Structure formats: structure tokens, C-alpha cells
Amino acid sequence: MTASGGKVQARRHRTIWLIVAVTAAAFLVGGVPSPARAGGVVRTPYSNPPETFSDDSCGYVMTVTRSSSGTFSVRTGTGRASSVLFFTDNYSFREVRTNPATGQSFVVRGNGQIKDVQAKPLGDNIFEIVTKNSGQPLVVEDSNGKVVLRAAGVVSFRFRINTHGNPDPNTWDFVEFLGVTIAGPHPETSACKIAGSFWGTGSANRLTPHPIGTTDSPLGYYEYLPPSYGPGVKAPLLIFLHGFGESGNGGSELPNLISNSGITFYISTNGWPANRPFVVLSPQHNSIDSPAYPYPCPDPSVDQVAGSCVMKLQHRYHNPLPAGSPCTAPSEVQAFLNYALTHYDVDPTRVYLTGLSCGGYGVWESLAEFGAGRIAAAVPISGEGRPAQQAAGCAMASVPIWAFTGDADDVVNPAGTIDTVGELQRCPAPPRKDVRLTVYPAVGHDAWDHAYSGSQGQDIYSWMLGFTTG
């Protein structure tokens, strides 16, 4: 999340369509041997050798081996347009995605053409490119080579590059991905949904939306009931608090909760293991602007990192509702928890709380306001916790806490997690319980995929289940 002019905006870099990342990268690879001359064209064949990496963005680990090839062309205009750059790319790519736990795999491949696209100069050597990519952008095959999904039509996407004033594309940098639009008979899918269709757990079948007004809940929410849930079984309750990008009105915008990242997203793409016993409830916060509560962030007098600035100001404003709080407020969490304990067959001594970014802030604030005796354990991720800790002191450490952040987070200050945990770990025990900190090196704001998937060796679910308030 970032803030500007008093309005917080989502900042998500997850690319929904695999083709977008591959095609955007193709503009900046290929080893163009010499600069384009005015009015001339430099055509360069390229072949990127396979690269293998791990992807845990679906809530579990996939191993991805990706390769691409094609012919990249760049030319400059003539006359008055001599400083204008034009791009053409004929490309193909192939990915093999494998579940390392089972060895199962599937293939994603595609090809297409982006032809003579003009780059718009923005100043300071920054150019914006808007493409229209025709071809067969996405084909999915099972391990036997059988086509199970085929997409066609036109994919348009926007991104920015920095040429550094050098006409040689080898020296350019990819700056920012700005979005994608899809026209034509494309199925609504993502890498995680594709993977879930091959080796998923079926968790999406147990996920139910409850729009605001259809229940007694003060918020619209999603409900996940595990296979073990039933009469006579007091299940553990896990409340998940989303990030700013998933905010909404609890009704028509409730699907925002399953559109991007975090536990509700993993469940919706069949990535949530059936043997986890939690009832998972995901309430939606409505981020409503209010001129009475300005957020001129970043503000060095509050915090130089925009997200932390926003969260600190929200705390300073006492988490105002219904308008004025970009992030989940503790009073919302407490009211929703009261509803959940009344309407679900859950164990009130096994209530767990977790959240990411704005939701991580909501976790910290909730621990400070009412955590002792109500929350058995909590996992805040990439959220600002210093205001809550300064307000509650060592009382907050009476709840077991495992906090996560990336040390390269430029959205919410890592100190909002690191300093908070450091202060709590200095509290005497008792009342301090198990307070842990995990900092992922060279990881930005998106620390939650590592934490929730357990890909780096941390099992937060078994850890939470080891605590009760009884």
C-alpha cells in the first residue's frame, strides 16, 4: 500500500496472467548488439536458457522452469520523431510447473506478436509502453501433453522502462508494471487456479461468501469450514485480516478478498490443506475516505515509509469508523469475533488471529486493545506495530506472537515489526509468552507468501495450535 494526497492506494505487483510477465521481460532481454539508428531497425533473435525457481504465491511451493525465445526489434522514428522508440517482439515461452511434494507437473506455453509499439516519453529517460499482444497467449497441457486450457484474443498491458539516455536496449531497466486488460474468449484464471485444477485440495468447495446484510455479522466475510467441522466438534477459529488492496463494501466488492493474496485467496484456488482443522473467517474492511482524517504520507515527521505513516496516523486518530481508517480497526475485529463465537461451533479458548499489511496492523492493534484472554496466538505480517506496543506495553506480550517482515519492505517500515518484537521480547516472563520474529532477507512487502506457505521452514499453523487461552 502507498499513500498520496490523503488517499491510500493498493500497490500489487502480482501478475495474474503468466504471459504478462514473460512478454514484459522479453522487451528487456535478447542481447541487442548495437543501437538502433534513426529510421533504422535492429532485429535480434534471442533465446533465454531455462531458469528454475520456487513459487510459493499459491500458499504452497511450486517449482517453475521457464524458457523463452523470439525476435526482438527496436527502431527510432525519422524527422521530428527521431527520438521516438518503436518496439516489435515475436516471442514464445514455455513453463513447467511441478509440485515437489508429489512430482506432478503441468506445462504452460504461449506465443504471440507485439508489433511496432511506440514508447511514450515521460521525461528523465522514462518511457511508458502500451502493447496489444495478439496470438495464442496461453496454452496449458497436462503431463501427458493433453491441452486442458487454451486462451485466445488480445492481451494489452502497460509498463515503464528507463533507458538511462542510452539507445542500446541492453542498458535499459524495467521500472514498473502498470496493469493488464484482456479482450476475447479468455477464461478467468490464474497460475494458482490452474495449479489447483491439477493437484488442488478442493478447498474452494468449502468456501462460502456471506455478504453484509445476509447475516447478523457487522461485516461481510468469507467462511471456510474444514472437513472435520461438524456437530459436537469444537473447532479452532482462525480470523484472517486482509491487506488494503482487498478492501471493499462487504457486498458487491466482497470478491476482492479472493482476488489477490493471502489465506482466503489460497483457499479459493484449492491451495488450503484439508487436514488443517481451523474454521477460517475472513471479514472485509471498508476503507472509506474522510476529509476529517487526512493522510499526507509519506511524512518524515511521522514516518518516511508511506505505509507506516498511514498506520501511525490511523492509530493517532484512534482508528475512526465508519470512515477514516484505511486499515482494519480493532473495534471491527472485536465485534466480528463476538459474532463468530456466537454463530459457529468453535472453541473460545482456541481463537487465532493473523493478517497481512493493513491486516497485520489490525492484528497489532487488536492485541493491544483486547488480545489478553481472548486471542490464543497471533501472526502479524508486514504491519506497523509500534503504536500499539507503545500504547499497551508489556501487556501485549501476554499473547504468543510470531511476527514476520521482509527486510527490503519499502511499503511498511520493517522497523514496525522488528522494533515492536524487540520491545516485547524485553518484557519479563511472565506475563510475556512466546514472542518470535522472522525477517526474510531481500524480501519486500510480500512476506506473507513465505510465512503462510511455510516454504522457508516456518510452520505457523502447528505453532498456533500449541496455545490456548484456557
Looking at 136, 162, 189, the residue that finishes a domain is 189
Statement to judge: residues 176 and 295 lie in one domain: no
Statement to judge: residues 150 and 201 lie in one domain: no
In-domain check, residue 4: no
Statement to judge: residues 251 and 181 lie in one domain: no
In-domain check, residue 440: yes
Statement to judge: residues 257 and 291 lie in one domain: yes
Buried b (16+ CB within 10 A) or exposed e, 359-376: bbbbbbbbbbbebbebbb
Which residues, other chains included, contact 139 with Cβ-Cβ below 8 Å and sequence gap of 6+?
Answer: 108, 109, 110, 147, 149, 150, 151
Statement to judge: residues 157 and 255 lie in one domain: no
In-domain check, residue 5: no
Statement to judge: residues 148 and 260 lie in one domain: no
Determine the residue type at 270.
Answer: N
Statement to judge: residues 219 and 128 lie in one domain: no
In-domain check, residue 66: yes
Global pTM exceeds 0.95: no
Looking at 141, 170, 189, the residue that finishes a domain is 189
Determine the residue type at 71.
Answer: T
Statement to judge: residues 292 and 162 lie in one domain: no
Residue 358 lies in domain = 197-465
Looking at 189, 205, 223, the residue that finishes a domain is 189
pLDDT per residue, tens digit, the chain (470 aa), is 433 333 333 333 333 333 333 344 344 333 333 333 444 566 778 888 899 999 999 999 999 999 989 887 777 777 666 667 787 888 888 999 999 988 999 999 888 787 788 888 888 888 888 877 666 677 899 999 999 888 766 667 677 888 787 766 667 777 776 766 666 655 556 788 889 999 999 999 999 999 999 999 999 999 999 999 998 889 999 999 999 999 999 999 999 999 888 999 999 999 999 999 999 999 999 999 999 999 999 999 999 999 999 999 999 999 999 999 999 999 999 999 999 999 999 999 999 999 999 999 999 999 999 999 999 999 999 999 999 999 999 999 999 999 999 999 999 999 999 999 999 999 999 889 999 999 999 999 999 999 999 999 999 999 999 999 97
Based on the structure, what is the number of domains in the chain? 2
Q: What is the CATH number of the domain that holds 284?
A: 3.40.50.1820
3-state secondary structure of 261: coil
